[in-house]
């Protein structure tokens, strides 16, 4: 089985700027720099045939490239205990339209819809019941955060692997947007969007 999600990768300078926010915070599990992303749609576990169908449908999505920015931080909390710290990304119309088109593509191959409203963010750290006041203090100390707007030139189908050191996210297919900018060397290996192949050892579903 393959655990999949669709996301936007971040340019190198944005990932580096977010990494520099890390500092002493007992109990924080910081996301590795190479794992920073903005999730557009979580898919979950699917077999190889479904993965092929998903990859093919996503290839039909045609949208122009656009710019995004980070304008602050927030957290997911329940009853005063924080589970995750994230960077906030304003949802402009281009981002929302791309996300809806991806939803429609996945609907067509039977992927169940997300029940949660789309809230664009970049997860920075996870906690096990961190006190809200402590996280709010971190947010205040880290604001304002300025990295400027950055181009979005593609979206990516990822496969995730879990191990005891944390998840590994592997790009399976990178889908260029019209007029997309592939200047970030992070995308070089996947630039053509043709790396979607299974090894024989992965064939069992």
Could you tell me if 192 and 78 are in contact, meaning their C-beta atoms sit under 8 angstroms apart?
no
Could you tell me if 65 and 155 are in contact, meaning their C-beta atoms sit under 8 angstroms apart?
no
Q: Which residue has the tokens 């299974």?
A: 198
Q: Which residue among 13, 97, 121, 137 is the active-site one?
A: 121
User: Of 196, 197, 158, 191, whose CA–CA distance to 176 is shortest?
Assistant: 191
Q: Which residue among 13, 37, 97, 137 is the active-site one?
A: 37
Q: What is the distance between the alpha carbons of residues 127 and 75, in angstroms, rounded to a whole number? A: 10
The question of whether 121 is a catalytic residue gets the answer yes
Query: Which residues does 101 contact at the CB level (< 8 Å), separation at least 6?
Result: 61, 63
Active site residues: 37, 121
């Amino acid at each position: 089985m393959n655990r999949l999600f669709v996301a936007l990768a971040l340019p190198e300078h944005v990932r580096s700027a977010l990494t520099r926010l890390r500092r002493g915070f007992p109990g924080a599990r910081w996301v590795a720099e190479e794992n920073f992303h903005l999730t557009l749609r979580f898919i979950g576990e699917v077999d190889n045939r479904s993965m092929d169908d998903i990859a093919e449908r996503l290839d039909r999505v045609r949208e122009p490239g656009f710019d995004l920015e980070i304008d602050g931080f927030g957290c997911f909390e329940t009853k005063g205990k924080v589970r995750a710290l994230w960077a906030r990304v304003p949802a402009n119309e281009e981002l929302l339209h791309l996300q809806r088109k991806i939803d429609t593509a996945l609907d067509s191959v039977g992927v169940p819809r997300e029940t949660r409203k789309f809230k664009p963010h970049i997860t920075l750290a996870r906690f096990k019941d961190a006190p809200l006041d402590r996280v709010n203090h971190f947010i205040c100390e880290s604001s304002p955060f300025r990295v400027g707007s950055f181009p979005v030139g593609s979206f990516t189908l990822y496969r995730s692997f879990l191990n005891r050191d944390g998840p590994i996210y592997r790009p399976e297919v990178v889908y260029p947007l019209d007029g997309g900018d592939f200047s970030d060397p992070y995308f070089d290996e996947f630039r053509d969007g043709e790396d979607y192949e299974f090894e024989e050892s992965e064939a069992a579903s």
